[in-house]
Amino acid sequence: MSYLQLIINPGSTSTKLALYRDEEKLLQESVQHKNEDLQQYEHIADQVPYRLSLIRDFMARNHIRGEELSAVMGRGGLVFGLHTGGYRVDDALCAALVSDELSQPHASNLGGLLARAIADEYGIPAYIYDAVTSGELSPVARITGIPEVPRSSFCHVLNSRAMAIRYAREHGRSYEDLNLIVAHLGGGVSASVHDHGRIVDSVGDDDGQFSPERSGTVPMLPLIDLCYSGKYTKAEMKKKVRGRGGMVAHLGTSDCRVIEQRIAQGDQHADLIFQAQAYQIAKTIGLLSIVLKGRCDAIILTGGLAHSRLLTDRITDYVQFIAPVCVLPGENEMEALAQGGLRILTGQEQARTYHVPEKEASL
């Protein structure tokens, strides 16, 4: 029996759509959105009718019959209290995706809402898979020195877990039998510890290393002074941390291809900043190796920036003493969603049902 899945991956400026039959991608398209089309909506959830019309147009143009679909798979949103794996999109999860108390506003929250809307039309299931906020952090890993600001799992779970599973398969092993550290290198960089199939700790894109567009962790007291200096609004400070921090703040560009070209032309400052980025990513990997007490089977470097041999070689030079380093470049989000959905449809995994975590429910 074969399974046909519609994959929906909404982003801040686009909606990526694909059709998969089992593991074969039949077609894929990225629908770009103009700023003026999205700015008219006050809340992210208000975009659902607009994006739904584009999805239906995609289906019509490509002669996709909803009656032939086995499931609709949406990108997971930033909902608190999720574990890794898949969730059936039901009323409780939809409510959490639009709740200020149970989630953070982000375009990926639309994945479940859009998948549910399409799936309900044809009486088929809708799922999300490996949301950014999913993980199995232990109580000790959640504690910080400021009780009001606990740590939570936050990383590119979707691609990190998919590449960990791929690594295990290609080496004739089971994902659940391995200890892995995965660093996803993109506009933001995050890293995660995979302890026998569970993400037990992670460092998010604003929680450690700087990256092309993220500041990463900086000394806190000077940061507090900057927040109250009167020079910047709250929104501008958030932009310094996420969007205008890191490489772009130092070098005026977040395009590593441009930066590498500058380095090749003898730009020593660009070379220093690029080396510092590799250095900080490596420090994060080293930090996470402590969680595994040094018992790490492999370190995986993935994401779009993993295409940069200069970056991955510099990181590898620092961390290869910990464990063998494997480079699996690319974001692979659509493939990862399709593979996750297929594991659910074939019974290899069971989709979870979302329940409001007790702690978050009391906020």
Mean pLDDT of 12-23: 94
Work out the burial of residue 209: count CB atoms within 10 Å of its CB; fewer than 13 is exposed, 13-18 middle, 19 or more buried: buried
CA dist 247 and 187 (Å) reads 10
Query: Does residue 291 carry a pLDDT above 70?
Result: yes
Helix (H) or strand (E) holding 44: none
Span between the terminal Cα atoms of the chain, in Å: 46
CA dist 217 and 259 (Å) reads 22
Q: Is 188 left (phi over 0), alpha (psi -120 to 50) or beta?
A: beta
Output 12 or 96, whichever has higher pLDDT.
96
- pLDDT tens-digit profile of 264-283? 999 999 999 999 999 999 99
The answer, as to whether pTM is greater than 0.85, is yes
- pLDDT tens-digit profile of 170-229? 999 999 999 999 999 998 999 999 999 999 999 998 889 999 999 999 999 999 999 999
Chain region(s) in the chain for CATH 3.30.420.40: 4-134+334-361, 140-331
Q: Helix, strand, coil: what percent of the chain each, to 5?
A: 40, 20, 35
> Helix axis angle, 256-264 relative to 268-289, nearest 10°?
120
pLDDT band per the 50, 70, 90 thresholds, residue 357: confident
pLDDT band per the 50, 70, 90 thresholds, residue 360: very low
Q: Which residues contact 67 (CB under 8 A, 6 or more apart)?
A: 122
Topology classification of domain 140-331: Nucleotidyltransferase; domain 5 (3.30.420)
pLDDT band per the 50, 70, 90 thresholds, residue 259: very high
- pLDDT tens-digit profile of 331-350? 889 999 999 999 999 999 99
Q: What is the overall mean pLDDT for the chain?
A: 94
What is the token pair recorded at 159?
């691609």
Give the CATH architecture of domain 4-134+334-361.
Answer: 2-Layer Sandwich (3.30)
CA dist 231 and 246 (Å) reads 19
The per-residue pLDDT for 362 is 36
